[in-house]
Structure 1
């Protein structure tokens, strides 16, 4: 089984060493599909991915919602194309890709969260991969990212109110829920711009998702203090 992963050269995360690109992407790809017989080929652009027409699956863990990239990805169809589109829906993208929650911490989970309109194709693919998955509704944030973004947002509100420090909130969350990271740590690793972006979209329909002002400021300035 041949896998192709492509990562862009840009990085808009807070610290370069935390960028979810290149080596980190390949690490996550191996976490997604760890079977030793899976051949993984890393490329930097979608055009380079087209140089591997024998691939049985294409994965874009560094997906960005821009027209040129989407059009290039559509050229890989009808092969399965999985994109890390947590906020954007398939309806918005306009092509029959499969959405996956590829945020840090989620690829390693035993069950992958997917949105697809080709359930038979995904069932066959995941049977071959020996992995479990759950098909969820085509909504922004799916389920896991929506819950996590809410937790991170509440942590920022708590910090704004000076109830506790960021470090104390992180420690309490890890000890109380057995999460691998606290909400501030997780938000930093994912990228506060992504968290704020998802919350902003969700907040348009339900005010309980309204992002913290300090979170928005931090995401806008790309600073983490």
Structure 2
């Protein structure tokens, strides 16, 4: 089996840590490189136009904001935002190409979980809501960023505090997801302070 992967340096290191089994060859795509023939394609940069000419093989794309209805039918969404690709189980979503996608991921020995095809998957939706609540608290001067980060890590055993997570993901991405989720539920309305930081980043 041959797969083609577009990823940045950090993502490549994480994927190599997950392991590439014997019998699977990989083309690591770089800018200007001709698109190879492959059994599957992975776009961890989330630039989907790179694989626009691929129509039949599954294309796994790092797409947290848009749903499968907004992507070509052969695309399978993956939550590969910073700090999520490190997790032992990949969140994936899509209504099409499920059998082919599962076959590829099983061949790679990568653990995965199908989740509803909705913006934010499950994990990013929850984390961004936590980040937003922390920004509301910061705006009310209830505590400092550092104190809230420490409290969350000690109190919940999470790997990062809300502001550390926001920095890892990128405040603009957090804000963009919340604005999409806000359309269906006002609980996701971004805090004014988060909006200000996101639009300045």
Structure 1-normalised TM-score? 0.81
What displacement does 1:76 show? 2.0
Compute the displacement of 1:129 (Å).
Answer: 1.4
Alpha carbons of structure 1 residues 24 and 182: separation in structure 2 relative to 1, 3 Å: same
The separation in 1 between residues aligned to 2:149 and 2:45, in whole angstroms, is 27
**Measured at CA, do residues 48 and 212 of structure 1 come closer, stay the same or move farther in structure 2, by a change above 3 Å?**
same
Q: How does 1:46-65 map to 2 (within 5 A)?
A: 48=33, 50=35, 52-53=36-37, 55-64=38-47
User: Helix, strand or coil for the counterpart of 1:181?
Assistant: coil
User: What is residue 34 of structure 1 aligned with on the other side?
Assistant: 19
Give the 3-state SS of the residue equivalent to 2:101 in structure 1: helix
User: How many matched pairs?
Assistant: 199
Q: What residue ranges of structure 1 are gaps of 5+ in the alignment?
A: 8-21
In the TM superposition, what whole-angstrom CA distance separates every residue of 1:45-95 from its partner, at most 9, and x where no partner exists?
Answer: 4x6361x21x3321111114xxxx43x423123122110000111101243
Match in the other structure for 2:113: 134
Aligned residue in 2 for 1:173: 152
CA distance in 1, matches of 2:56, 2:114: 19
Instruction: Judge which range, 171-180 or 186-195, deviates more.
Output: 171-180
Q: Which runs of 5+ in 2 are unaligned?
A: none
- Residue 119 of structure 1, CA deviation: 1.6
C-alpha displacement of 1:40: 3.9
Q: Is the 8 Å Cα contact of residues 152 and 161 (structure 2) preserved in structure 1? A: yes
Name the SS of the counterpart of 2:33 in structure 1: helix
Q: Is the 8 A contact 1:5 1:29 kept in 2?
A: no
Cα distance change, pair 60–173 in 1 and its aligned pair in 2 (3 A): same
Give matches, 1:99-118, under 5 Å.
99-116=77-94, 117-118=96-97
How many angstroms does 1:196 deviate by?
A: 0.2
Residue by residue over 1:89-127, the C-alpha shift from the partner in whole angstroms, topping out at 9 and shown as x without a partner, is 110124320000001222222221101222211221122
